[in-house]
Amino acid sequence: MTMASNQQQSCDDFLLYLEQEKRMSKHTVSNYQRDLTQFLTFLTSNDLALWSTIKSSHIRQYIVQMHKQGLSGRTIQRALSAIRSLYRYLIREGLADNNPAQAVQAPKTEKRLPSTLDVDQMSALLDSTAPDTFLACRDRAIMELLYSSGLRLAELASLAVRDIDFGDQLVYVTTGKGNKGRVIPIGSQAIKALRQWLTQRDEQGFYEQTALFISQQGRRLGERAIQKRLEHWGKKNAISDKVHPHRLRHAFASHMLEASGDLRAVQELLGHSDISTTQIYTHVDFQHLAKVYDSAHPRAKKK
């Protein structure tokens, strides 16, 4: 086995570790794989065939190369994060002595807030989806649950019927990032839509299917199919920009934050381990914050 193939094998083992031991989603593992494949190409082209010979200067050289290619700061940050994680694994396995990527910083990137739907747009989208057919009934329940509880796409797609507690109006999520479980409240409108959907399923003879959301053939609905259905309803309602699951998750977060001002609670509901992530993905109602500041700060009050 050549040195280059040794590096490839180490990367393959690392990706398997992420999937099987860290229980990361297929989407996350796929991103790591893409970033590390590009990194291995860089190593090969620069004759860096041993993990131990790679220094911080080489990592900086790689970052500069990516920057010259016009890649965004966010993309470079993600690639750097993948390399750091790989090296932590290599050190654990005794294949490297230090992490050359640890002290390397990616170019700063502007923190852009994802576009969201306002309350009126969300109401129009949900209220116009009459649950009068199998597909419409299912899709209405999907959208109500996404907006009600702020689930990630992978979390929603993996739900089972047993994960919904109708009595206490809760959803049990066990497949978030890092396989961290959490319990999230479900609003009354989403509960109503879910009850209608389960009744529709039963009438079609799918009462033994354990997956919560299924196709007309009775199979678990995949992530791509869910994305396509939301896009369909967005177009039907003439909503600008594409309607997708994360946009509904973001609407949930921003509307909750604007109404409550409780960033910590929204962080818990979203399942973010770092509150800075919540700050990036939610719109802050600055007028509300200004009013709170003016009324609460002792040096802000007018005499």
Do 29 and 126 sit in the same domain of this protein? no
Rounded average pLDDT over 166-191: 83
Report the CATH number at residue 160.
1.10.443.10
Position 124 in a domain: yes
Distance CA 175, CA 132 (A): 31
For 125-171, the pLDDT digits (tens) are 888 888 889 999 999 999 999 999 989 999 999 999 999 999 999 99
The mean pLDDT value of the chain amounts to: 84
Do 54 and 203 sit in the same domain of this protein? no
Task: Point out which residues pair with 211 in neighbouring strands.
Answer: 160
Residue 289's pLDDT band, with cuts at 50, 70 and 90, is low
Query: What tokens appear for 234 in the block?
Result: 């967005």
DSSP state of 159: -
Do 239 and 133 sit in the same domain of this protein? yes
Distance CA 194, CA 143 (A): 10
Position 248 in a domain: yes
**Helix, strand or coil, per DSSP, at residue 78:** helix
Query: What tokens appear for 289 in the block?
Result: 């914050």
Do 87 and 124 sit in the same domain of this protein? no
Distance CA 22, CA 112 (A): 29
Distance CA 52, CA 279 (A): 38
Output the pLDDT for position 1: 46
Do 16 and 161 sit in the same domain of this protein? no
Specify the pairing of strand 164-165 against strand 170-173: antiparallel
Q: Given 73, 92, 111, which residue is the final one in a domain?
A: 92
Residue 279's pLDDT band, with cuts at 50, 70 and 90, is low
Domains: count for the chain? 2
Do 24 and 85 sit in the same domain of this protein? yes
Output the pLDDT for position 119: 83
Query: What tokens appear for 59 in the block?
Result: 């990592």
For 75-121, the pLDDT digits (tens) are 888 899 999 999 999 999 999 889 999 888 877 655 555 567 888 88
C-alpha distances out from residue 136 to 36, 133, 279, Å? 41, 5, 34
Report the CATH number at residue 56.
1.10.150.130
For residue 60, what are the domain limits?
3-92
Output the pLDDT for position 108: 67
Position 22 in a domain: yes
**Helix, strand or coil, per DSSP, at residue 271:** coil
Position 108 in a domain: no
Do 41 and 182 sit in the same domain of this protein? no
Alpha helices by DSSP H, the chain: 3-20, 26-45, 56-68, 73-92, 119-127, 134-149, 153-157, 188-203, 223-236, 245-260, 263-270, 275-280, 286-296
Output the pLDDT for position 295: 72
Do 151 and 222 sit in the same domain of this protein? yes
**Smallest Cα–Cα separation from 230: which of 148, 159, 160, 135?**
135
Residues with catalytic function: 152, 177, 246, 249, 272, 281
For 237-247, the pLDDT digits (tens) are 888 678 888 88
Distance CA 219, CA 199 (A): 17
Do 132 and 241 sit in the same domain of this protein? yes
Position 147 in a domain: yes
Position 110 in a domain: no
Do 86 and 135 sit in the same domain of this protein? no
Task: Let me know: does 248 contact 231? Beta carbons within 8 Å.
Answer: no
